[in-house]
């Protein structure tokens, strides 16, 4: 397979594109193959005990990728990688089918233009495709995405997600030829911040990490990425389809914000017309929702504090996540770099919105791990 993540235009051959269309335009086929895979590998799947999953989630551009990569680099976790595309619900079968023609893991900068490099072996936020495969009609509308409350998921979703996670753990054992290590599931899915109660009910001994940033800097980064993906989606229809298929509605022509507390009811969202006040209100709605669903299993991570004291903060995350390879985790702090986006001046926002954001940020900082 020639491309990963739709990172650069031209990455995908005609065969790649045809396989992606087949996989994502026929969700019923993915589900049938997933059931077949479960039957074939039932013995190995049933041997997985699971538990102590780590979910990294939050508003995009908050540091979720940084935390994901740091944790995954310890070698203790199973996660979605670009190798599983496009048959995300059948990771073991797809590994065996594609193993003979897999390409080497050459790094490229990802499409965000933020100097983060990815390869076929990099972890990525593909979990949302599983949620959509089983609950798209309950989550996605024409204008926005709905939250999923603690009792809002379906039996099919619960079974499909748990089964896929167990298969990823089995796949990690196969790929690393090590059945003695019990890998744990590691997820990055920004949309999960809108379903914190559901996650906890589905995975009762999991840890959920929710990073946040200073709002003016965060909004500037959101706006920059939105503009970047508007241009990319205008220029490359396949990139737009790809992001929609995997449930990435954060930016560009695919923009579908999460409808926290029905703030988007009777409000049309035009992706090329949203401005800084919209993004700031979205920031406020997202983190207010987080605070309303905060529990001992959900930990706030101050991204700015993480940049200021990477080793110290990662040591605390290692304790929370029960990481064995602590030094491998804390060593990744040397790769952290400050964001290059210039924060928006606070006087550019509506006064009431900005004041609300400042007060909310102070609460987040006070409640964050330290």
Average pLDDT over residues 38-47: 92
Token digits for 238?
């396949």
Q: Tens digit of pLDDT for each residue in 162-187? A: 999 999 999 999 888 666 678 999 99
What is the residue whose two structure tokens read 């045809």? Answer: 18
In this predicted structure, what is the pLDDT of residue 4? Answer: 42
Kindly tell me if the per-residue pLDDT of 305 is higher than 90.
yes
pLDDT of residue 316: 97
CA distances from 335 to 127, 162, 310 (A): 26, 33, 9
294 versus 114: which is more confidently predicted? Answer: 294
**Mean pLDDT of the residues in the chain:** 89
Look at residues 235, 272, 266 and name the one whose alpha carbon lies nearest to residue 253. 272
**pLDDT score at 11:** 62
Query: How big is the CA angle at 137 (ends 136 and 139), to the nearest 5 degrees?
Result: 60
DSSP string, 156-193: HHHHHHHHHHHHHHHHHHHHHT-SSS--EEEEE-GGGG
**Largest pairwise CA distance in the chain:** 61
Task: Report the top-level CATH class of 14-367.
Answer: alpha beta
Say if residues 50 and 183 touch (Cβ distance below 8 Å): no
Residue-wise pLDDT for 63-96, tens only, equals: 999 999 999 999 999 999 988 999 999 999 999 9
d(C-alpha 44, C-alpha 171), whole Å: 10
Does residue 284 contact residue 356 with C-beta atoms inside 8 Å? yes
Domain ranges of the chain: 14-367
Non-local (6+) Cβ contacts of 4 within 8 A are 11, 82, 85, 108, 118, 119, 120, 122
Find where tokens 């959920």 sit. 208
pLDDT at 110: 46
């Amino acid at each position: 397979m020639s491309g990963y993540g739709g990172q650069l235009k031209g990455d995908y051959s005609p065969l790649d594109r045809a396989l992606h269309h087949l996989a994502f335009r026929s969700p019923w086929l993915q589900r049938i193959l997933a059931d077949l895979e479960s039957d074939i590998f039932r013995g190995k799947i049933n041997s997985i005990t699971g538990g102590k999953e780590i979910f990294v989630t939050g508003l995009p551009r908050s540091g979720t990728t940084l935390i994901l990569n740091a944790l995954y680099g310890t070698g203790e976790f199973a996660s979605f990688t670009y190798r599983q595309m496009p048959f995300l619900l059948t990771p073991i079968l797809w590994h065996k089918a594609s193993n003979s023609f897999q390409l080497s893991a050459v790094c490229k900068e990802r499409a965000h233009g933020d100097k983060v490099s990815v390869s076929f072996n990099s972890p990525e936020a593909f979990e949302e495709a599983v949620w959509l495969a089983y609950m798209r009609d309950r989550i996605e509308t024409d204008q926005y995405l709905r939250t999923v409350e603690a009792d809002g998921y379906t039996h099919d979703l619960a079974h499909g997600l748990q089964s896929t996670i167990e298969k990823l753990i089995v796949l990690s054992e196969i790929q690393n030829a090590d059945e003695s290590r019990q890998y744990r599931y590691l997820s990055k899915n920004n949309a999960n911040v809108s379903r914190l109660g559901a996650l906890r009910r589905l995975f009762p001994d999991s840890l959920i990490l929710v990073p946040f940033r200073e709002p003016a800097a965060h909004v500037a980064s959101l706006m920059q990425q939105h503009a970047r993906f508007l241009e990319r989606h205008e220029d490359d229809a396949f990139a737009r389809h790809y992001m929609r298929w995997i449930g990435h509605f954060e930016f560009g022509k695919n923009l579908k914000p999460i409808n926290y507390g029905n703030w988007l009811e009777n409000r049309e969202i035009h992706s090329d017309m949203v401005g800084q006040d919209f993004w700031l209100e979205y920031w406020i709605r997202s983190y207010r929702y987080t605070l309303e669903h905060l529990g001992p299993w959900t930990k706030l991570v101050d991204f700015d504090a993480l940049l200021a004291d990477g080793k110290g903060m990662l040591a605390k995350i290692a304790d929370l996540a029960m990481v064995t390879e602590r030094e491998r985790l804390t060593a990744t702090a040397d790769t952290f770099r400050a964001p290059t986006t210039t924060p928006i001046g606070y006087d550019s926002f509506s006064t009431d919105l900005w004041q609300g954001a400042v007060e909310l940020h102070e609460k987040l900082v006070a409640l964050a791990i330290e």
